[in-house]
Amino acid sequence: MASIGSTVPAIAVASIWLDGRLLRGLGPTQVVLSPVEASPARPPDSRSGKFPRMRTASWVSAATAVLLGATAAAAWRKAHLADQARREAEAALNAALEQLEAMTRIADAAQQALPRPLEVEFDVQRIRGPVDRFRLHNVGTGIATNVRFVVDPAEEQNRRVPTPQWLDEDAVTLLPKEWADFSASALSPVAGSWRIVFPAFVTVIYDEARTPRQVDLPTSVVTEGGVIG
């Protein structure tokens, strides 16, 4: 009992400076050995005045104290190793995140340094007038040369079908932010009366090896200054 009484406080005091969690309570082995070590020892011999030899229970008590110390040391070592592994994992994760962030910054800088591809993008406005006309804008970054409309020859000959036509006879080349006007209207019978009709879209092609693009025509009308009518 004296050895146990000195071991437990020593471990408790040592845990102040040592990392790890101190496990309290008795395990299955200690629960079984507790009644054995609690049995009283024989008193000293009255005739000789000497204590008898150490009983088996005393040896068990000493062994229990040693076992408790070893168990506490093993538990502390296990907790210390687990805490060390956790810290190493956190450090590795932080290093990986920093490396990923650095690679992302490098990729963004490289993407900004590369020249952007020159693309042509069309936008159409409907301009108010005696007969509304349309204005084709090049809102992209590339140059559109030889811009023309793809029209069915049969529809082009039929004056009742609205087909797009440039207002200028010259070949149209649109630089970035430039525009050109075209008409796309026809006088056609609608519901028993003659009305000016407009197509819903036009098909535009430019250069020689480009793919034709379908451009939807707007229904809202703007004035020459860009104000919506």
On whether both 27 and 81 belong to a single domain, the answer is yes
On whether both 87 and 168 belong to a single domain, the answer is no
Q: Please report the DSSP string for 61-121 in residue order.
A: HHHHHHHHHHHHHHHHHHHHHHHHHHHHHHHHHHHHHHHHHHHHHHHHHHHHHSPPPP---
**What pLDDT, on a 0 to 100 scale, did the predictor assign at position 187?**
85
On whether both 104 and 136 belong to a single domain, the answer is no
**What pLDDT, on a 0 to 100 scale, did the predictor assign at position 178?**
92
The number of domains in the chain is: 2
Domain annotation covers residue 97: yes
On whether both 102 and 128 belong to a single domain, the answer is no
Q: Which of 113, 135, 153 is the last residue of a domain?
A: 113
Give the pLDDT of the chain (229 residues) as one tens digit per residue: 556 666 777 777 677 666 666 666 666 666 656 665 655 555 555 565 555 555 666 666 777 777 887 888 888 888 889 999 999 999 999 999 999 999 999 988 887 777 666 788 899 989 888 888 899 999 988 888 889 998 888 887 777 888 898 988 788 999 999 999 999 888 888 878 888 888 889 999 988 767 888 889 888 888 766 555 5
User: Domain containing 155: what range?
Assistant: 122-222
On whether both 76 and 162 belong to a single domain, the answer is no
The H or E element containing residue 180 is strand 179-183
On whether both 61 and 131 belong to a single domain, the answer is no
On whether both 33 and 69 belong to a single domain, the answer is yes
Q: Which of 67, 86, 113 is the last residue of a domain?
A: 113
**Spatial CA neighbour of 120 closest among 191, 15, 54, 207:** 207
Domain annotation covers residue 47: no
Q: Which of 113, 139, 161 is the last residue of a domain?
A: 113
Instruction: Tell me how crowded residue 202 is: count the other CB atoms within 10 A of its CB.
Output: 23
On whether both 101 and 38 belong to a single domain, the answer is yes
**Spatial CA neighbour of 20 closest among 28, 29, 11, 7:** 11
Domain annotation covers residue 228: no
